[in-house]
Amino acid sequence: MPIKTQSDLPAKEILEKENIFVMDESRATHQDIRVIEIGILNLMPLKEDTELQLLRSLSNTPLQINVTFITVSSHESKNTSMSHLNKFYETFDGVKNRYFDGLIITGAPVEKMEFEEVDYWKEMCDIFEWTKTHVTSTMHLCWGAQAGLYYHYGLKKHLLDKKVFGVFEHHVMNRKVPLVRGFDDYFMAPHSRHTEVRAEDIRKIPDLTILAESDEAGVFLAIADEGRRIFVMGHPEYDRVTLDKEYKRDKEKGLPIDLPVNYYPDDDDTKKPRLEWRSHGNILYSNWLNYYVYQTTPYEFIDTAEIVGK
């Protein structure tokens, strides 16, 4: 799939080296094709890493995607330069009058804080409300999933005794739902979090359906409102070395951190980590784009900016 990005986005060169088709604005304007508009609300501190991971994850479909990176204006990023943000990102105020086929809300390093203590929580609430009328399907990742479940359904997160950290086995709960079409009965996926939304709380909400969970890591995937809202508790977009970087970063800081589970061969952190989740991560994003974004967005919504569902 061609991903349409700005020609000088740093991730573009890396993706092209991986033989991922990335199209610049000049070439895209010469194609007569229905472009899928995807917004990415990037709340992660290392934004350029997340850009690369998500663009790579969105690349396994024949659809042409126009990506708009979005940032909150009520928080100042400390790990990404202002020049990068000013050049490649829009604020929510800058896009709130636009309509998107899909939106991805990433995780954020604020999970130990109460939602209301996060300095951009009010803006997040505005964004969650805006998605009801301006986005066909929203995919929430990690903290973004916990925040979305709290805002839309009042579900609280709970602090874990020990960080869920590593690559865990999950089983598919409802194979008839298109989001998990093509999944094996059991699959691997990374987690890196100190909190959780409990499965029993999710099951009390009639609108929510759990699609995959782990005996060790808990819920991985849930869906609501016929795919208008999707909640992913882990990080299927992570690349091979993301957990390795997190582990060694915390270890160097002297923070309490265990080896990531099922990650290093023989639990030896000097060895190259195993990559065991890429195929199912690709299927997840491809199914989302196909069944809940492209096949669902009414043509009139794109051409006349009518409210979703009208």
Looking at the annotation, which residues are catalytic? Answer: 142, 235, 237
Is the separation of the CB atoms in 16 and 22 below 8 Å?
yes
- CA distances to 36, 194, 245, 255 from 4, in Å: 10, 35, 29, 40
Output the pLDDT for position 227.
Answer: 95
Q: Is 249 annotated as a binding residue?
A: yes
Average pLDDT over residues 244-261: 93
The Cα–Cα gap between 255 and 250 comes to: 5
Superfamily of domain 32-239+277-306: Class I glutamine amidotransferase (GATase) domain (3.40.50.880)
* Domain limits, the chain: 32-239+277-306
Label residue 246 left, alpha or beta by phi (over 0 means left) and psi (-120 to 50 means alpha): alpha
Residue 100 clears pLDDT 50, i.e. is over it: yes
Residue 10 clears pLDDT 80, i.e. is over it: no
Mean pLDDT score of the chain: 88
**What are the strands, taking DSSP E only, across the chain?**
3-4, 22-23, 36-41, 65-71, 89-91, 100-105, 135-141, 158-172, 186-196, 208-214, 218-224, 229-232
Residue 13 clears pLDDT 90, i.e. is over it: no
Cross-strand partners of 212 = 172, 221
Output the pLDDT for position 294.
Answer: 86
Q: Is 228 annotated as a binding residue?
A: no
Average pLDDT over residues 154-163: 96
Percentage of the chain exceeding pLDDT 90: 72
Q: Is 163 annotated as a binding residue?
A: yes
Residue 11 clears pLDDT 60, i.e. is over it: no
Cross-strand partners of 191 = 166
